Chain A
Amino acid sequence: EAQVTQNPRYLITVTGKKLTVTCSQNMNHEYMSWYRQDPGLGLRQIYYSMNVEVTDKGDVPEGYKVSRKEKRNFPLILESPSPNQTSLYFCASSGAASGRGEQFFGPGTRLTVL
């Protein structure tokens, strides 16, 4: 089954404790992206990757890092989380074959930073 998976689905942590949210897709998509969803703001892009070893900032990259060492994986790293990073995070992927812009979303990770 074609899908995007994320782990963990729920995470409660404390300020300053480094964490990683994993994202994996099995559709051989070249494009992957991370979003955060906040009430009234819709989805805002954090980082994206056009292919292996190619990453770039989205609209709200501050406080986040990413890496793309393999085509299928695109982890999101919070080196020193802060309470304003409490949010719902979605990973998404897209490929030229499915039409640019048609993105497939993971189930989401609800992060709470205390």
Chain B
Amino acid sequence: AQSVSQHNHHVILSEAASLELGCNYSYGGTVNLFWYVQYPGQHLQLLLKYFSGDPLVKGIKGFEAEFIKSKFSFNLRKPSVQWSDTAEYFCAVNSVNDYKLSFGAGTTVTVRA
């Protein structure tokens, strides 16, 4: 069975600081990888995804993530955060032949103005 681990439960940053959220998964086969964001009071939205190809993927709002297959990792980064990036971030994984997503526990990011 797949499992997803997010390293940080809660991250507090100041505006303009850089953000990196860790995500590791355990699964022996080929996977698709996702980062979802949930702004306060809203539903989950797709931030970025990796299916294949270039392991560095760019998403919306200046976010990017790097897939490192040897480390089973898919870390999310943003060079300079804004107050509006305050949200909960979820890493998710599925097998390429399956719809079922496994989610990490989420990381709450608070950006202070």
When A105-B43, A105-B45 are in contact, do A42 and B97 touch as well, CB less than 8 Å?
Answer: no
Q: Are B99 and A31 neighbours in the complex by a CB distance under 8 Å?
A: yes
Is the Cβ of A101 less than 8 Å from the Cβ of B43? no
* B7 proximal to A (CB < 8 A): no
Please encode chain B, from 75 to 113, with 1 for each CB lying within 8 Å of some chain A CB and 0 for all others: 000000000000000101110111111011110000000
Q: Is the CB of B43 within 8 A of A108?
A: yes
Known: A41-B105, A100-B32, A100-B94. A48 touches B44 (CB 8 A): no
Whether, in the assembled complex, B46 has its beta carbon less than 8 Å from a beta carbon of chain A, the answer is yes
* Cβ-closest chain A residue relative to B36: A105
Within the complex, what minimum Cβ distance (angstroms) separates B50 from chain A? 10
Q: Is the CB of A40 within 8 A of B105?
A: yes
Instruction: Give bound CA distance, A92 to B97, whole Å.
Output: 18
B43 touches A43 (CB 8 A): no
Contact B42 A100 (CB under 8 A): no
With both beta carbons as reference points, the residue of chain A lying nearest to B98 in the complex is identified as A100
Interface size grouping (class) on chain B: 20 to 34
A108–B46 alpha-carbon span in the complex (Å): 15
Task: Please indicate the chain A residues that have their CB under 8 angstroms from the CB of B99 in the complex.
Answer: 31, 33, 48, 50, 94, 100-101, 103
Given A100-B94, A101-B32, A43 and B45 contact (CB-CB distance below 8 Å): no
The reply to whether A101 and B97 form a contact with Cβ atoms under 8 Å apart is no
**A residues at B contact (CB < 8 Å):** 31, 33, 35, 40-45, 48, 50, 58, 90, 92, 94, 99-103, 105-108
Q: Which 9 A-B pairs have the closest CB atoms?
A: A101-B94, A42-B105, A31-B99, A43-B103, A105-B44, A101-B32, A42-B103, A105-B43, A107-B43
